[in-house]
Copies of this chain bind each other. A is one copy, B any other.
Amino acid sequence: MAMVTVFRASISRSLPTSFPNLLSSSSNRNSIPKKHRLLCYAASSQTKTIRSEVSFCIGTHLIPHPKKVERGGEDAFLVSDYNGGVIAVADGVSGWAEQNVDPSLFPQELMANASCLVEDEEVNYDPQILIRKAHAATSAVGSATVIVAMLETNGTLKIANVGDCGLRAIRGDRIIFSTSPQEHYFDCPYQLSSEMVGQTYLDAVVSRVEVMEGDTIVMGSDGLFDNVFDHEIVSTVAGHGDVAAAGIS
Residues of chain A at the chain B interface (Cβ within 8 Å): 25-26, 29, 32-42, 44-46, 48, 93-96, 98-99, 143, 174-178, 180, 182-185, 187-191, 193, 195-200, 202-203, 205-210
- Distance A235 CA – B205 CA, assembled complex (angstroms): 20
Contacts A44-B200, A182-B174, A184-B32 given; does A207 touch B205 at CB 8 Å: no
**Given A29-B185, A32-B184; 19 other pairs, CB 8 A cutoff:** A26-B185, A32-B188, A35-B188, A35-B189, A36-B95, A39-B191, A40-B197, A42-B197, A44-B196, A44-B197, A44-B199, A44-B200, A46-B196, A46-B200, A48-B202, A176-B182, A177-B205, A205-B209, A206-B209
Q: Interface centre among A40, A42, A93, A196, by most B CB within 10 Å?
A: A40
- Distance A91 CA – B222 CA, assembled complex (angstroms): 35
- Distance A43 CA – B205 CA, assembled complex (angstroms): 17
Contacts A39-B191, A46-B200, A199-B42 given; does A33 touch B180 at CB 8 Å: no
- Distance A174 CA – B48 CA, assembled complex (angstroms): 37
